[in-house]
Amino acid sequence: MIVRHRNYDLSARNTFRMKVRCALYVEVTEEADLPALDWDALPQPLMVIGGGSNLLFTADFPGTVLHFADGRGDSHEIPPRPLGPDSGGLLLATVPAGSVFDDFCAWAAENGLWGPENLSLIPGECGASAVQNIGAYGVEAKDIIAAIRAWDLQERRFVTIDPADCAYGYRTSRFKTDWKGRYVITAVTYRLSQTPQPKLDYGGIRKALEERGVSTGAGISGHPRPDKREGPKEARSAENGRGRSEAKAIPAPVLTPQLIRDTIIDIRNKKLPDPAEKGSAGSFFCNPVISREHFARIVATAREENGPDYQVPHYEVGDQIKVPAAWMIEQCGFKGATNGGAKVYENQPLVIVNDSGEASPEEIIGLEQRIIRTIEGKYGITLHPEVEHI
């Protein structure tokens, strides 16, 4: 089915809730409808969107906005299939591009399949995951994408794209560069594993799991732990005849994709705004990757301000260092800063929110530019927006 709306209000189609319009909005629910569209008659330019969760509309869009929706219905009906006879427990799952990505993560976790659990609660749709190379907690979409099906607007035919040809990088791909505007993604095939493959050493996951009583050492299964009831051994023995050496074994939770997903959802909910309450596009800036020499200068500055033992948060990336943009934004005093209806979110300064619900694109951009200029002046780093400006 094809649905068309002229002079369409896009405020419900972007998570920043910018009150802008497009000349024509087209929603397509079936692959077979794509060849039937009169592409040459559509108002130009043409922009394909997913859930609108990584966009900042800076003004009304003069052309056509096209959305390929999930006409199949419930994304939990995905039928996984073996990768091959000697796949070592790997499965493939093909998901319509319009499916909510977190619904896919939920389905995989519920079925005990490893791969996307660290990406839980990232907003947006599956098609956009392949464009943006979404990532969180040490995992990126490219790590689990096996194939991409798309309508080629240039050649007017359906194609299957190998992820190896997509030039995936940190929050980027060829879909955002030389392929921009060429493809309408209709489905993404993900590679999942029945064999445990937990990735825990990023963003406090391991610590959060251990606080839940989960063993995160060698092996994946839970381990018994002693009964931790209070009181001296004599009192416990009088009560139930068991001394310390005979304490009741209580099984610890087993490390599963569902447990990791639940833990990550808890972490994200504490740091990030609920999109239903505060409009935003999630992480606004990319985390910069710099040389070790540059990082040493930042450490020296930070220790002058915070004391000689101060530790600057960072991650090793080969022979370079990734510095959290959120840390720099907070160090520069922007946590909670406002510009009209726009605000740097108090719990996660990497996020800019439409705090009033009525923020204009100019207010968002004004706050963005203040942050960029200040960090450039203090740290010699130019932050680049992760959010695409339209």
- The CA distance from 273 to 161, in Å, is 35
The single residue of 17, 283, 360, 363 carrying the catalytic annotation is 283
Render 159-226 in DSSP notation, one character per residue. EEE-GGGS--BTTB-GGGTTTTTTEEEEEEEEEEESS-----SSTTHHHHHHHTT---SSSSS--EEE
Out of 125, 140, 363, 386, pick the active-site residue: 386
Question: Which one-letter amino acid corresponds to residue 205?
Answer: I
Which whole-number Å values give the CA distances from 275 to 74, 84, 132, in the listed order?
22, 40, 19
Closest CA to 119 of 30, 207, 108: 108
- Cα distances from 60 to residues 5, 15, 242, 284, 368, in angstroms, run 15, 16, 74, 21, 20
Instruction: Measure CA 68 to chain center.
Output: 20
Q: What is the DSSP string of 19-78?
A: --EEEEEEEE-SGGGTTTS-GGGS-SSEEEESSSTTEE--S-EEEEEEEE--TT--GGG-
Annotated catalytic residue: which of 13, 21, 149, 171?
Answer: 171
Amino acid present at 122: I
Residue 69 burial by Cβ neighbours in a 10 Å radius (0-12, 13-18, 19+): middle
Q: How far apart are CA 374 and CA 366, in angstroms?
A: 12
283 counts as catalytic: yes
Phi, psi of 160 (to 5 degrees): -110, 125
Show the tokens assigned to 277.
């309450």
- Return d(Cα 390, Cα 100) in angstroms, integer: 22
Q: Which of 285, 353, 351, 352 is nearest to 323 (CA)?
A: 285
Of 162, 163, 194, 188, nearest in space to 90 by CA = 194
Using CA atoms, how far apart are residues 134 and 123, in angstroms rounded to an integer?
10
> If DSSP codes are grouped into helix, strand and coil, which group holds residue 250?
strand
SS3 (DSSP) at 259: helix
Which sequence positions are flagged as catalytic? 171, 283, 386
